[in-house]
Amino acid sequence: MAHDSPFHRPAATRPISRRDFLWQSGGGLGGLALAAMLGHDRALAADVSAPASRPVHHPAKAKRVVQFFMAGAASHIDLFDYKPELIKRHGQPSDFGEPVEAFQNGLGPWLRPIWDFQPYGQSGKMLSEVVAPLGGVVDDLAFVHNMVGKSGVHSAATLLQSTGFQLPGFPGAGCWVSYGLGSLNENLPTFVVLPDHRGFASNGVKNWDAAFLPSQHSGTIIFPGTEAPVADLFPHASGKFITPRGEAAAHRLMADLNRQHSAAREGDQRLDARIRSYELAARMQLAAPEALNLKAEPAHVLKLYGLDGGPQTWPKEINADEEAFHFSQKCLAARRLLERGVRFVQIWSGNDNSFPRRNWDSHENVQRDHGPLALGMARGAAAFIKDLKQRGLLEDTLILWTTEFGRMPSSQGGKGRDHNPFVFTNWLCGGGIKGGTTHGESDLWGYKPLDRTNPTTVYDIHATILHQLGLDHTRLTFRHNGIDRRLTDVHGHVIKNILA
Amino acid sequence: MTNRPPLVSAPASGGLQTCAARPPFVSWAAKKLAAGLVGTALTSALAATAPNFVSDVRPIFAKHCVECHGPEKQKSGYRLDVKAIALTGGEGSAPNIVPGQGATSPLVKYIKREVEDMKMPPKGDPLSPAEIATIAAWIDAGAVWPDSASAAVADPLDWWSLKPIASVTPPASAANPIDAFIRAKLATNGLTPSPSADARTLIRRLYFDLTGLPPTPEEIAGFVADQAPDAYARLVEKLLASPRYGERWARHWLDVVHYGDTHGYDKDKLRPNAWPYRDYVVRAFNSDKPYARFVQEQIAGDVLFPDSADGIEALGFISAGPWDFIGHAEVPESKTDGKIARHLDRDDMVANTIGTFSSLTVHCAQCHNHKFDPIPAEDYYNLQAVFAALDRTDREYYRDDARHARFQALRRVQRETAAALAALEAPLRAQAGEAYAEITRRLELPPQTDPAEPGKPSPSRGYHSALSSTPDVTKWVQVDLGESIEINRATLVPAHDTFNGIGAGFGFPVRFKVEASDDPEFQTGVKLLWQRYDQTFMADFPNPGRDAFTTGGGTGDGIIGRYVRVTVTKLAPRKDDYMFALAELRVTDRAGKNVAAGRPVSALDTIESGERWRKSNLTDGIAPAALSAEEKAELERARDALLLGSADEPTKSRRAALLAESSRIAAELKSLPKPDLVYAGGIHTGSGTFKGTGAAGGHPRPIHLLARGQVTTPGKLVGPGTLSALQFAPARFDLPADAGEGQRRAALAHWLTDPKNPLTWRSIVNRVWQYHFGRGLVDTPNDFGRNGGQPSHPELLDWLAADFRDSGGSFKSLHRRIVMSATYRQAVTANPAAEKIDSGNTLLWRQNRRKLEAEALRDAVLAVSGKLDLTMGGPGWQDFVIERPEHSPHFKYELANPEDPKTWRRSIYRFVVRSQTQPWMTSMDCADPSMRVDKRNESLSPLQALAMLNNGFIVSQAQHLAARVRAERPDDLPAQIARAHALALGRAPEPAALAQLVAFAEAEGLPALGRLILNLNEFTFVD
With bands split at pLDDT 50, 70 and 90, how would you rate the model's confidence at A21?
very low
Q: What percent of chain A has pLDDT over 90?
A: 68
Residue B728 above 80 pLDDT? yes
Per-residue model confidence (pLDDT) at position B964:
98
Contact between residue A372 and residue A378 where contact means Cβ atoms under 8 Å apart: no
> What are the two backbone dihedrals, phi and then psi, of residue A168, each rounded to the nearest 5 degrees?
-70, 155
Domain ranges of chain B: 28-149, 199-241, 290-397+678-752, 401-445+631-674, 458-626, 953-1022
The verdict on a CB contact (< 8 Å) between B1015 and A254 is: yes
Task: Please tell me which of the candidates B265, B788, B1008 has its beta carbon nearest to residue A250.
Answer: B1008
Query: B265 to chain A: nearest residue by CA?
Result: A203
**pLDDT higher at A352 or B558:** A352
- Has residue A330 been placed in a domain? yes
Q: Is B391 helix (H, G, I), strand (E, B) or coil?
A: strand
From the CB of residue B968, how many other CB atoms can be counted at a distance below 10 Å? 13
Per-residue model confidence (pLDDT) at position B427:
85
ipTM: 0.78
Contact between residue A439 and residue A498 where contact means Cβ atoms under 8 Å apart: yes
Q: B423 exposed, middle or buried (CB, 10 Å; 0-12, 13-18, 19+)?
A: exposed
Looking at CA atoms only, how far is residue A139 from chain B in angstroms?
34
Query: B838 to chain A: nearest residue by CA?
Result: A15
Cα–Cα distance for residue pair B965/B979, rounded to 1 Å? 6
> Strand runs (DSSP E) across A199-308, as ranges?
220-221
Which residue, among A193, A206, A233, would best test binding to B if mutated, counting the most B CBs under 10 Å from its CB?
A206
Per-residue model confidence (pLDDT) at position A311:
64
- Spatial CB neighbours of B212, under 8 Å, sequence gap ≥ 6: B244, B247, B248, B251, B855, B856, B859, B906
Cα–Cα distance for residue pair B599/A412, rounded to 1 Å? 28
DSSP count for chain B of H helices, then E strands:
34, 25
- Has residue A358 been placed in a domain? yes
Domain coverage including residue A388 = 64-230+294-498
| Sign of CA pseudo-dihedral B969, B975, B976, B980 | negative
- Has residue A429 been placed in a domain? yes
pLDDT tens column, A410-459: 999 889 999 999 999 999 999 999 999 999 999 999 999 999 999 999 99
The three-state (H, E, C) secondary structure of B304-318, written as one string: HCCCCHHHHHHHHHC
pLDDT tens column, B149-161: 877 767 778 899 9
Residue A264 above 60 pLDDT? yes
- Has residue A236 been placed in a domain? no
Residue B489 above 80 pLDDT? yes
Cα–Cα distance for residue pair B973/B457, rounded to 1 Å? 92
Kindly list the distances between the CA atom of residue A458 and the CA atoms of A148, A163, A404, A489, B1005, in Å, as whole numbers in the listed order. Answer: 8, 9, 10, 11, 55
* Whether A355 contacts chain B with CB within 8 A: yes
Rg (CA), chain B: 37
Q: Which A residues in the span 383-442 are in contact with B, Cβ-Cβ below 8 Å?
A: 412-413
* Whether A204 contacts chain B with CB within 8 A: yes
Average pLDDT, chain B: 87
Per-residue model confidence (pLDDT) at position B843:
96
Residues of A in contact with B884 (CB under 8 A): 354
Contact between residue B178 and residue B820 where contact means Cβ atoms under 8 Å apart: no
Phi-psi region of B231 (alpha: psi -120 to 50; beta: other; left: phi over 0): alpha
pLDDT tens column, A204-232: 888 998 888 887 888 999 999 888 899 99
The verdict on a CB contact (< 8 Å) between A482 and B340 is: no
- Has residue A134 been placed in a domain? yes
Cα–Cα distance for residue pair B20/A470, rounded to 1 Å? 37
pLDDT tens column, B86-135: 888 777 677 889 998 888 898 998 998 888 778 888 877 889 998 999 99
Strand order in the sheet with B453-457: B453-457, B448-450, B623-624
The per-residue b/e assignment along B935-945, b for 16 or more CB within 10 angstroms, e otherwise, is bbbbbbbbbbb
Task: Please tell me which of the candidates B468, B928, B990 has its beta carbon nearest to residue A169.
Answer: B928
Per-residue model confidence (pLDDT) at position A29:
31
Which residue pairs from B364-368 have beta carbons closer than 8 angstroms and sit at least 24 positions apart in sequence?
Answer: B364/A482, B364/A483, B366/B706, B366/B709, B367/B707, B367/B708, B367/B709, B368/B76, B368/B77, B368/B91, B368/B708
- Has residue A258 been placed in a domain? no
Query: A210 to chain B: nearest residue by CA?
Result: B928
Cα–Cα distance for residue pair A187/A192, rounded to 1 Å? 13
Per-residue model confidence (pLDDT) at position B444:
64
Read off the pLDDT of each residue in B394-414 and give the average, rounded to a whole number.
93
Residue A32 above 80 pLDDT? no
- Residue of B784, B747, B748, B753 lying closest to B766 (CA atoms): B784
The per-residue b/e assignment along A150-185, b for 16 or more CB within 10 angstroms, e otherwise, is bbbbbbbbbbbbbbbbbbbbbbbbbbbbbbbbbbbb
Query: A204 to chain B: nearest residue by CA?
Result: B915
With bands split at pLDDT 50, 70 and 90, how would you rate the model's confidence at B325?
confident
Query: A283 to chain B: nearest residue by CA?
Result: B942
* Whether A278 contacts chain B with CB within 8 A: yes
From the CB of residue B869, how many other CB atoms can be counted at a distance below 10 Å? 14
The verdict on a CB contact (< 8 Å) between A284 and B946 is: yes
Contact between residue B478 and residue B487 where contact means Cβ atoms under 8 Å apart: no
DSSP A282-306: HHHHHHHHHHH-GGGS-HHHHHHTT
CATH for A176: 3.40.720
Number of independent structural domains in chain A: 1
| Sign of CA pseudo-dihedral A476, A480, A483, A489 | negative
Per-residue model confidence (pLDDT) at position A13:
30
Per-residue model confidence (pLDDT) at position B756:
97
pTM of the predicted model over 0.95: no
Residues of A in contact with B900 (CB under 8 A): none
Cα–Cα distance for residue pair B349/B741, rounded to 1 Å? 15
With bands split at pLDDT 50, 70 and 90, how would you rate the model's confidence at B647?
confident
Contact between residue B295 and residue B760 where contact means Cβ atoms under 8 Å apart: yes
Region B458-626: CATH code: 2.60.120.260
> Strand runs (DSSP E) across A373-493, as ranges?
397-403, 406-407, 419-420, 424-429, 437-439, 477-480, 483-486
- Residue of B579, B583, B511 lying closest to B545 (CA atoms): B583
Per-residue model confidence (pLDDT) at position A172:
96
* Whether A56 contacts chain B with CB within 8 A: no
* Whether A286 contacts chain B with CB within 8 A: no
Per-residue model confidence (pLDDT) at position B969:
97
Q: What percent of chain A has pLDDT over 70?
A: 88
With bands split at pLDDT 50, 70 and 90, how would you rate the model's confidence at B448?
low
Cα–Cα distance for residue pair A62/A466, rounded to 1 Å? 9
Looking at CA atoms only, how far is residue B784 from chain A in angstroms?
8
Highest mean pLDDT among A194-198, B281-285, B879-883: B281-285
Residues of B in contact with A262 (CB under 8 A): 1017
Per-residue model confidence (pLDDT) at position B270:
92
pLDDT tens column, A276-316: 999 999 999 989 999 999 999 999 999 999 998 866 788 88
> What are the two backbone dihedrals, phi and then psi, of residue B983, each rounded to the nearest 5 degrees?
-60, -45
Read off the pLDDT of each residue in B359-375 and give the average, rounded to a whole number.
84
- Has residue A141 been placed in a domain? yes
pLDDT tens column, B755-804: 999 999 999 999 999 999 999 999 999 999 988 889 999 999 999 999 99
Contact between residue A426 and residue A412 where contact means Cβ atoms under 8 Å apart: no
Per-residue model confidence (pLDDT) at position A116:
97
Helices (H), B935-1005: 942-950, 952-968, 973-985, 991-1004
Cα–Cα distance for residue pair B900/B953, rounded to 1 Å? 10
With bands split at pLDDT 50, 70 and 90, how would you rate the model's confidence at B73?
confident
Cα–Cα distance for residue pair B17/B116, rounded to 1 Å? 32
Kindly list the distances between the CA atom of residue A264 and the CA atoms of A268, A360, A453, B200, B808, in Å, as whole numbers in the listed order. Answer: 10, 58, 65, 16, 43
Cα–Cα distance for residue pair B106/A132, rounded to 1 Å? 55
DSSP B780-822: -TT--STTS---SSHHHHHHHHHHHHHTT--HHHHHHHHHTSH
Size of interface A-B (CB pairs under 8 A): 305
Per-residue model confidence (pLDDT) at position B885:
67
Residue B165 above 80 pLDDT? yes
Per-residue model confidence (pLDDT) at position A414:
87
Cα–Cα distance for residue pair B76/B702, rounded to 1 Å? 25
DSSP count for chain A of H helices, then E strands:
13, 14
Read off the pLDDT of each residue in A53-59 and give the average, rounded to a whole number.
77
